[in-house]
Amino acid sequence: MYQIIQKERLNEQIYSMWIEAPQIASVVQPGQFIILMIKEKGERIPLTVADFNRKEGLIRIVFQVVGKTSEELSTLSEGDGLYSFIGPLGKKTEIKNYGTVINVGGGTGIACIHPIARALKEAGNQVISIIGARNKDLLIMEEELKKVSSKLIITTDDGSYGQKGFVTQVLKRLLEEDNSIKKVWAIGPAIMMKVTCETTRPFPVETIVSLNSIMVDGTGMCGSCRVTIGGESKFVCTDGPEFDGQLVDWEEFMNRLIRYQEAEKKSWAIYHKESHHCHCEGRK
């Protein structure tokens, strides 16, 4: 069992947990992910590491409730244990001094860019972070990002906080203003990463994305996570999760992300029916 040491609700849908996993914490690097199972009958889900504490042997995960497993995970409390927790998986982010870099984060992707931004800053980069959400209430980890960035820009779709608009609008302006920027990381929902790559395409900048494919083992054994990169089939779990976003076949990637949608909906609906967390049905 892997104990939940600390749990925090970051907003209505997003949770943060620190999990006791000393072996993983001792070697994990920014950009890598873990795979967890809540219980023996559970599924294996990959989550990018949001932070780690080597001294205390802890790994931080940040997740959004999007289905049965994530909702069930959100109901666990401090002191509860996870059935399985493996990692660190995937390749680490290539950290070096690039000069000025931009990190773009959306949704739980904000958590994923956190350790990357920190490492980039420690490596001497000028780190500009742009984080966005639909509105102020949905924004997460502002303080943490501020600490690890040279500059933090916030956008909200409705203008309730920071600049009104999308992260890509800010990104475009920054790239137009400063042509010395050579590297951008964009992590968030698939559509946001795709649009970010469209934004950066005209500029002489490399755009790294972190793909969140559906996986089973996460060690290169099954190929569930395969994706076409520059015309070649790659495994996100062992060749990634980070890739040059301009080479990703986004249509294929997004199709494969929803290939179990029907089953996932069914499983979530049954969970709601059976669990006591939702009392809306059948009560008149």
Partner 1 sequence: MAEMIPTKERMKREQVAMPEQEAQERIHNFQEVPLGYSSEQAIYEAQRCLQCKNPSCMKGCPAEINIPRFIQKIVEEDFQGAYLEILKTDNLPAITGRVCPQEEQCQKYCVLEKKKKPIAIGRLERFVADWARKNKVHGKLSTNIIKGKKVAIVGSGPAGLTCAADLAKLGYQVTIFEALHKPGGVLVYGIPEFRLPKSIVEYEVKEIENLGVKVVTDIVVGAAISVEELAQEYDAIFLANGAGAPRFMNIPGENLNDVYSANEFLTRSNLMKAYAFPEYDTPIKIGKKAATIGAGNVAMDSARTALRLGAEKSYIIYRRSRKEVPARAEEVHHAEEEGVIFKFLTLPIKVLGDEKGNVIGMECLKMELGEPDESGRRRPIPVPDSNFVIEVDMVIDAIGTSANPIVARSAPGVENNQWGYFIINEETKETTRAGIFAGGDIVRGSATVISAVGDGKRAARSIAKFLSSGGSLKN
User: In the complex, which residues of this chain contact partner 1 (CB under 8 A)?
Assistant: 23-24, 27, 37, 41-44, 68-69, 83-89, 216-217, 219-224, 226-228, 233, 238, 249, 251-252, 255-256, 259-260, 263-264, 266-267, 270
Choice between 160 and 267, CB closer to partner 1: 267
Q: Tokens standing for 176? A: 């137009």
Choice between 86 and 205, CB closer to partner 1: 86
| Least distance CB 87 / partner 1 (angstroms) | 7
**CA separation for the pair 160, 155 (Å, rounded):** 9
| Least distance CB 269 / partner 1 (angstroms) | 9
19 phi/psi in degrees, rounded to 5: -115, 140
93 contacts 30 by C-beta, under 8 angstroms: yes
| Least distance CB 277 / partner 1 (angstroms) | 16
| Least distance CB 46 / partner 1 (angstroms) | 13
Burial 200-239 (b: 16+ CB within 10 A, else e): beebebbbbbbbbbbbeebeeeeebbbbbbeeeebbbbbb
205 contacts 101 by C-beta, under 8 angstroms: no
20 contacts 79 by C-beta, under 8 angstroms: no
Choice between 13 and 238, CB closer to partner 1: 238
**CA separation for the pair 63, 36 (Å, rounded):** 12
209 contacts 187 by C-beta, under 8 angstroms: yes
Choice between 189 and 223, CB closer to partner 1: 223
Q: Tokens standing for 140? A: 């997460």
Residue 179 DSSP class: T
Choice between 185 and 253, CB closer to partner 1: 253
| Least distance CB 268 / partner 1 (angstroms) | 9
| Least distance CB 226 / partner 1 (angstroms) | 6
Choice between 22 and 189, CB closer to partner 1: 22
Handedness of CA 17, 23, 209, 182 (dihedral sign): positive
Choice between 179 and 233, CB closer to partner 1: 233
| Least distance CB 239 / partner 1 (angstroms) | 11
